[in-house]
A = this chain, B = another copy of it.
Amino acid sequence: MHAYRANIVYTPTPDAFRYVELGYVVVNDEGRVVDVFEHLPAEYASVTVTDFGDKLLMPAFCDMHVHAPQYRNMGLAMDMELLPWLNTYTFPEEMKYKDEAYAKRLYTRFVHELWMQGTMRCAVFATVHLPATLLLADLFNDAGMGAYIGLGGMNRHSPQPLTNTTQQVVAGTIQLVEHCAAYSNHRVRPIVTPRFVPSCTPDMLQALGDLARDYQMPVQSHLSENMSEIAWVSKLEPETASYGDAYNKYGLFGQTPTLMAHCCYTEGKELQLMRNNRVFAVHCPTSNCNLASGMASVRTLLDNNVPVALGTDVSGGNHASILRVMQYALQVSKLQYTNSHGNLRFLSLSETFYLGTKAGGQFFGKVGSFEPGYEFDALVVDDHYLNFDNYSLPHRIERYIYLGDDRDIKFRFCSGQLINEPKQE
């Protein structure tokens, strides 16, 4: 048992922050929150207290869509839309991960970057290369951070060096399952990862759907990101009612817990199917701006009871910070409020913080909040340079969301464990 003292901020529900000034989070020996207290109750009087003084203590971030092998391209190559961007910039970079030494060097930096940004849980696309993918899983495990790791499935409309066969992706994913099962904790886990409908034949999609069912593994992919992509999918899968229905047909759309990135143009039947199947929409507003994809309406998704989380989508996203994705989620929702003449209510600050913490955290179990029973994933933030004039605690968290960055994060915890800086080289 251990107690942490600081200014505590979290979102049990989307509609409001809970603030506890100089309060206590008591964490049990399994790394789970016992409860949050304004004053430490007598029964915990003998518990060791770590006092973080006037700092902020908040849930760590969950990045629910990010491409590890695009890390070198982060902040680059933003002058094309999705499909030419993939062919010109992204696929050539991903091909390099056949080289394990390159993969080790770059993946080490990638894991360090997420650590730096306060992201303690993520859902990651790797490449089609199994050795590099196992290595990525090891790096997250060594760091103590939580991650779903996906070996990419790609067997059509992709450059040959970046393809695998149905048999390879299925066998590789099973190897990844076994590899992760050997870790002493279960923070790093496999996820079934067809890249997107255009890169996978029906045979591969069906095999991956069967695999997800047989191993009760979650699924991640891309959905309705860009108009040209959507038109292409409807040509490739003319029998389906929507892009989402193409995944659904093969058991890849909520049959097990499913993350679908983007959903910029999700509406009608696709929206219904997402709601009915409890498929997560992962909102990646930075990426959607950078690749001129458009604006997903988080309000429409939420109003239709589709679960929504946030993703940086590196390197479509130009940075790996969920804090900055929160800013963009707020701002894009305001542009949609204006475009809709006020019909689409813009996101509130607490809703947006919830999306980046508890909403994504659900995918890992009880993660992303400080309610009793939640794994203690937390950031200790020193905002003294922002708090130069006695701001209230609500104003401090607002300024941290709009102005803070990685240098403010002093300590990071995942599942109760202090996560030290991972080795960079």
Binding site for B on A (CB under 8 A): 72, 74-79, 106, 109, 286, 289-295, 318-319, 327, 330-332, 334-335, 337-338, 346, 348-349, 386, 388-389, 395, 398-399, 401-403, 405, 407
Q: Do A334 and B290 touch across chains, with their CB atoms under 8 A apart?
A: yes
**Minimum CB distance partner of A425 in chain B:** B388
Excluding A75-B401, A76-B402, 10 further A-B contacts by CB distance (< 8 Å) are A74-B399, A74-B402, A74-B403, A78-B330, A106-B389, A290-B330, A290-B331, A292-B334, A294-B338, A407-B407
Whole-angstrom distance between the Cβ of A290 and the nearest chain B Cβ: 6
Q: Do B79 and A389 touch across chains, with their CB atoms under 8 A apart?
A: no
Whole-angstrom distance between the Cβ of A9 and the nearest chain B Cβ: 15
Q: Do B337 and A292 touch across chains, with their CB atoms under 8 A apart?
A: yes
Q: Do B331 and A289 touch across chains, with their CB atoms under 8 A apart?
A: yes
The one of B286, B293, B338 in contact with A292, judged by C-beta atoms closer than 8 angstroms, is B338
**Minimum CB distance partner of A320 in chain B:** B403
Q: Do A75 and B399 touch across chains, with their CB atoms under 8 A apart?
A: yes
Q: Do A76 and B398 touch across chains, with their CB atoms under 8 A apart?
A: yes
Q: Which interface residue of A327, A331, A348, A389 has the most chain B CB atoms within 10 A?
A: A331
Give the docked Cα–Cα distance between A398 and B72 (Å).
13
Q: Do B78 and A402 touch across chains, with their CB atoms under 8 A apart?
A: yes
How often does this chain occur in the complex, in copies? 2
Give the docked Cα–Cα distance between A79 and B338 (Å).
13
The one of B78, B290, B293, B389 in contact with A72, judged by C-beta atoms closer than 8 angstroms, is B389
Q: Do A403 and B72 touch across chains, with their CB atoms under 8 A apart?
A: no
Q: Known contacts A75-B398, A388-B109, A402-B318: does B407 contact A346 (CB below 8 Å)?
A: no
**Minimum CB distance partner of A288 in chain B:** B335
Q: Known contacts A75-B398, A292-B334, A395-B76: does B109 contact A318 (CB below 8 Å)?
A: no
Chain B residues whose C-beta falls within 8 Å of the C-beta of A395 in the assembled complex: 76
Chain B residues whose C-beta falls within 8 Å of the C-beta of A402 in the assembled complex: 74-76, 78, 318-319
Chain B residues whose C-beta falls within 8 Å of the C-beta of A337 in the assembled complex: 292
**Minimum CB distance partner of A334 in chain B:** B292
**Minimum CB distance partner of A399 in chain B:** B75
Whole-angstrom distance between the Cβ of A17 and the nearest chain B Cβ: 13
Chain B residues whose C-beta falls within 8 Å of the C-beta of A389 in the assembled complex: 72, 106
Q: Do B76 and A292 touch across chains, with their CB atoms under 8 A apart?
A: no
Query: 9 A-B contacts, Cβ less than 8 Å apart?
Result: A77-B398, A78-B398, A79-B349, A109-B388, A289-B331, A290-B331, A292-B346, A294-B335, A405-B405
